[in-house]
Amino acid sequence: MLEKSFEPCDAFIGVNLGTDLSNMPSPTQVVALLKAQNIRQVRLFDADRAMLLALANTGIQVIVSVPNEQLLGIGQSNATAANWVARNVIAHVPATNITSIAVGSEVLTALPNAGPILVSALKFIHSALVAANLDSQIRVSTPHSSSIILDSFPPSQAFFNRTWDPVMVPLLKFLQSTGSYLMLNVYPYYDYMQSNGVIPLDYALFRPLPPTKEAVDANTLLHYTNVFDAVVDAAYFAMSYLNFTNIPIVVTESGWPSKGDSSEPDATLENANTYNSNLIRHVLNNTGTPKHPGIAVSTYIYELYNEDMRPGSVSEKNWGLFDSNGEPVYILHLTGAGTVLANDTTNQTFCVAKDGADRKMLQAALDWACGPGRVDCSPLLQGKPCYEPNNVAAHATYAFNAYFQKMAKSPGTCDFKGVATITTTDPSHSSCIFPGSAGRNRTIVNGTSLAPSSNSTVSGCHSQYIHHVVSFTFTSSVIIGNFRFSAVGKLAFITRFCVPPTGGELRGGQGLRRTYTVGQRAVVSTAP
């Protein structure tokens, strides 16, 4: 039985490294980011020599790949395969910790004409490793799209597309005989998008579900709380249908895009953050799946960087955890989940104004943060520590960050209609200490400076307020349970503006679009 054949081990989270960036970081910079984020496993889509040299002596475990365009040559020639291994593997080990070779990528769906020689390619690569006495430390496999699994729910009825039985049966025999694993790409985002509303978003994002909302496999009575587990178990059942019950699974790709076009409304920062944060926690706690609880399903997140040069839809370019400059696209919610990618467990993340942002947009966002946002903007008054430099961008940076820290760095609280961005560089300067800055003379609670309560006044303004009634139109959408409630109407509130020093400028920003956050949902309002 599978449970007895598998050796329990700790699951890990790795990342895929795509290189279709207009400003691709150098291999040294890539490795520095991997180290800083405590990423110990990385998958390369090729076997780039410079990258492999940069990874030498780091201990980072590396999957190198045979690109699809080289597959036919390798699958038809043992000598070609041996030359590839000599050049791309033997030349780099043991300094570079190569642990696996991925032969092609989603070959059966992306390059079906190469299907008949796929197993030959794996065997030729493995033979070269045997000759070099490396077969015990380097596994050989090939990543599959989960679309080769048909009728994936309920998982107990799943089976591989029978068209590919002539490939899958010898492939699984090879994996079994060499002690390798099935490489599987699992994308709940696409399952959700293609389900026409059948799959709930919460089920795709690993969000908690009440027992009545869990999916139950009627044949096994196993309960499924997320798409990821259901797909992995479907693969296990599909293998068992072919009488293979002792081959583990490694998920070579999974993730969620942070941006999409109008046809992809759920490709958002918040959903990407939710999915990847929950995925990391789910994998690292060694939960396993309902079919095989406690059996590790190690996973590589797709991907490390946003690839702005990838062809296709907007979402294709926005799967990354980081921009090319190393700044996180969003801050993962990983407190208590270990150290890998836990870039929100330190105090060193800040919200700042974007370079080159529109001045009027900055002014409007600054007005909101220091007014309805209830940020303590007193350090920006003349004579106070953060008054200089006296310009909108600098003052907006302070106000944006104060709000971001006040809201515990929640998703959507560092956007301000696109004029703000997250950075790991502390913007404090001279005697101007920003909220959230570590080791400063201020009270820190869970990495967040104590902010005014909802019923407190903005300190530093004393009695110098102009009470100004502002009426905004608004469109808001709120999700409660499985229902979405939308409303359009008027929102009136009293804003408190500090009276500036003599000769200063009263900042009102009326008539400008302004973005603010209610809970974790962005609301855009326009003054009439």
**Which residues carry out catalysis?**
106, 253
**Angle of helix 359-370 versus helix 392-406 axis, rounded to 10:** 40
**Angle of helix 115-131 versus helix 165-178 axis, rounded to 10:** 20
**E-strand stretches of 338-482:** 350-353, 420-423, 444-445, 448-449, 465-480
439 Cβ neighbours under 8 A, 6+ residues apart: none
Helix or strand holding residue 287 (H, E): none
CA 298 to CA 253: how far, in whole Å? 10
CA 373 to CA 218: how far, in whole Å? 50
CA 196 to CA 5: how far, in whole Å? 39
* Residue 233 contacts residue 216 (beta carbons within 8 Å): no
Helices (H), 194-226: 201-204
Q: Residue 211 has what DSSP assignment? A: G
CA 64 to CA 86: how far, in whole Å? 13
CA 154 to CA 231: how far, in whole Å? 10
| Nearest C-alpha neighbor of 122 from the set 88, 161, 173 | 173
Cβ-based burial of 48 (10 A; exposed 0-12, middle 13-18, buried ≥19):
middle
Place of tokens 């025999």: 173
φ, ψ of residue 279 to 5 degrees: the values are -60, -45
CA 404 to CA 375: how far, in whole Å? 10
Place of tokens 């049966």: 169
**E-strand stretches of 79-186:** 97-103, 139-141, 143-145, 149-150, 159-160, 182-185
* Residue 51 contacts residue 30 (beta carbons within 8 Å): yes
Hey, how many other C-beta atoms are within 10 angstroms of the C-beta on 31? 20
Place of tokens 């690839």: 307
* Residue 213 contacts residue 201 (beta carbons within 8 Å): no
Identity of residue 299: T
Q: Residue 71 has what DSSP assignment? A: H
Positive or negative, the CA dihedral 398, 341, 184, 138 is: positive
CA 417 to CA 348: how far, in whole Å? 23
394 Cβ neighbours under 8 A, 6+ residues apart: 353, 386, 388
CA 305 to CA 426: how far, in whole Å? 22
CA 32 to CA 16: how far, in whole Å? 15
